[in-house]
Structure 1
Amino acid sequence: MFRGLGTKILDGSPNYFVVEDIGQVSSTSQFEKFLQDIYEFVQMKDIQSVTIVLNEKEASNNDYLHLLGDYDFSKHDTQYFYKRDLNSLEVSEQVTSIELKSIEQTSDNLFKKVWKEVVTWSLNAPSSLSIEKEFEGMKTELGSNYIKNCLIAYHDKDPIGITIPHIEPGTVDEGRLFYFGLIPAYRGNKLGMTLHKLSLQFLKCIGATYYIGATGHKNIPMERIFQINGCRMFEKKVIYRLKRHPT
């Protein structure tokens, strides 16, 4: 396992490896050593998708940007991060227009089929991985509970989207959605807002006291969903991705 002082890693090896926070790296020499260690690690593990996330201050450091270029990383996207306290969230027991079914109640294959439809025409920057590899990486990151966290959303008995609410690994009460979205035909009619709210309620029920969500800077509809459901933006981050597989 890759280790760094204060770093936050999302490890879906060998499919993906995300450095979500570079931790206590605070100088050009430390950042260069950090990149070298990452490069050697992902080469050894044969990891297919490698991403580094920097906050605005870090992403404005020209020395860091030059080093990222030297190690063949390029800017992939800018993301907006939102947060919501879940203690005040009311969990409704009323029947809504959406029903959620986990993989325990359906199947891996059906979940992946719906996921493939969901990513069609997404406003977020595309992944370099297939849904099959994203799915396998997610299983590695979340562990055996993935069968309870992977949920298919149904409307009038038709699958319309997916959501993957979970407690962030390494924390006890931070709620995240590994992925969230609707099939294109069902977008734009408030079902996304409802599905997101149900996802937040699910997070509260499994012990999350707060929620962190992120979306690409072009995904205005998702930003609106965040805002309608009581989330506030607290940070912008810049995503850098390794352009080629290490050899």
Structure 2
Amino acid sequence: MIQSILHQLKKLGVHSLISNEAIILEILEDVTQLDLVNETIDHLNSCIKGTEFKKVLLVCPREYLNQLKLVGKQMGMKGERVIYQRSLETPLESAPLDYEIWSPTDENSISFLSEVMGRSVKVTKKFLKSMMVELPSQYQNMFTVYKINSEPIGVVLPHLEPGRDQEGRLFWIGIHPKHRGKGLGNHLHLIGLERLRADFKAKTYLGATEVENLPMRKTMQANGCVEDHRVLTLEYKT
């Protein structure tokens, strides 16, 4: 039933992703049949009750909410995000940066990511499991570690977005706490972009961050990304 509803939404222009506990819906482009989208998402919210899914997340432009009345009543506001884009069809202009690709299942990888995220190992493993469920064919090739003088500095997780035309994204990015405040985030982000271009063969990059996250916004701007539009994130919980 749920897969059928997601297929209907795809035909209406709504992109979807499935993690181990959530369904993520995105309206990032012009959609004309918003009344039908509204009814279909309402149906989806009803159908996840009693399943393994605990919530539905919807990302969409603010102006669409006037026509998504059922959705607006059901789903709570989580925040506003800025969407950035850049082309990856030409080589990036940058000095060589040292990085390695680690296995996401290795205990050293999990331990280091736990430190970078500031989360327990248990929570970190749950995060990686979500990544594996969403991106099973890319999971083993995503865990990218920025290194300086052989010391790991941060982690970036590049991937191609399923169902999109060679669109590259970063599942997550973060600098280890003891190396923050040194401007290294720009380098880590650039490594992610370079891997998207060279290894994942992405033609474009789409990045999103909270409106209030000025450091990440400055990082994307420094690496040639241009603000495209803004979207709201809404959540429905069972």
2:15 maps to 1:8:
yes
May I ask how many residue pairs the two structures share in their alignment? 226
User: Cα distance 1:190–1:155, how it changes in 2: closer, same or farther (>3 A)?
Assistant: same
Q: Which amino acid aligns with 1:11?
A: I
Q: Which residue of 2 aligns with 1:101?
A: 101
Runs of 4+ in 1 over 4 A off after TM superposition: none
User: Cα distance 1:31–1:172, how it changes in 2: closer, same or farther (>3 A)?
Assistant: closer
Q: Which residue of 1 aligns with 2:48?
A: 42
Asked if 1 retains the 8 angstrom alpha-carbon contact of 2:45 and 2:56, the reply is: no
Equivalent residues in 2 for 1:55-134, closer than 5 Å: 55-59=61-65, 61=66, 64=68, 67-68=70-71, 70-71=73-74, 73-90=75-92, 95-96=96-97, 98-103=98-103, 107-120=105-118, 130-134=123-127
Query: CA–CA distance in 1 between the matches of 2:124 and 2:23?
Result: 15
The counterpart of 1:155, out of the listed 119, 133, 148, is 148
Q: Report the CA distance between 1:91 and its aligned residue.
A: 6.5
Q: Report the CA distance between 1:186 and its aligned residue.
A: 1.5
Query: CA–CA distance in 1 between the matches of 2:46 and 2:116?
Result: 34
Query: CA–CA distance in 1 between the matches of 2:233 and 2:108?
Result: 30
Asked if 2 retains the 8 angstrom alpha-carbon contact of 1:19 and 1:52, the reply is: yes
Superposed CA offset, 1:153-208 (max 9, x none):
33333332211111111134211111111122222212110111111111111211
Query: CA–CA distance in 1 between the matches of 2:138 and 2:179?
Result: 28
Query: CA–CA distance in 2 between the matches of 1:132 and 1:32?
Result: 35
Equivalent residues in 2 for 1:11-26, closer than 5 Å: 11-12=18-19, 14-21=20-27, 23-26=31-34
Asked if 2 retains the 8 angstrom alpha-carbon contact of 1:9 and 1:21, the reply is: no
Aligned sequence identity (%): 25
Q: Report the CA distance between 1:95 and its aligned residue.
A: 4.3
Q: Which residue of 2 aligns with 1:140?
A: 133
Asked if 1 retains the 8 angstrom alpha-carbon contact of 2:157 and 2:170, the reply is: yes
Asked if 1 retains the 8 angstrom alpha-carbon contact of 2:99 and 2:144, the reply is: no
Q: Which residue of 2 aligns with 1:125?
A: none
Query: CA–CA distance in 2 between the matches of 1:130 and 1:25?
Result: 39
* Stretch moving more, 134-143 or 193-202: 134-143
Q: Which residue of 2 aligns with 1:124?
A: none
User: Cα distance 1:110–1:42, how it changes in 2: closer, same or farther (>3 A)?
Assistant: farther
**Unpaired segments of 5 or more residues in structure 2?**
none
Q: Report the CA distance between 1:227 and its aligned residue.
A: 0.6
SS in structure 2 at match of 1:226: helix
2:164 maps to 1:166:
no
SS in structure 2 at match of 1:203: helix
Superposed CA offset, 1:103-152 (max 9, x none):
1xx7443333333333349xxxxxxx943333212112211321111222
Q: Which residue of 1 aligns with 2:197?
A: 204
Asked if 2 retains the 8 angstrom alpha-carbon contact of 1:166 and 1:177, the reply is: yes
User: Cα distance 1:225–1:43, how it changes in 2: closer, same or farther (>3 A)?
Assistant: same
* Stretch moving more, 136-145 or 197-206: 136-145
**Unpaired segments of 5 or more residues in structure 1?**
122-128
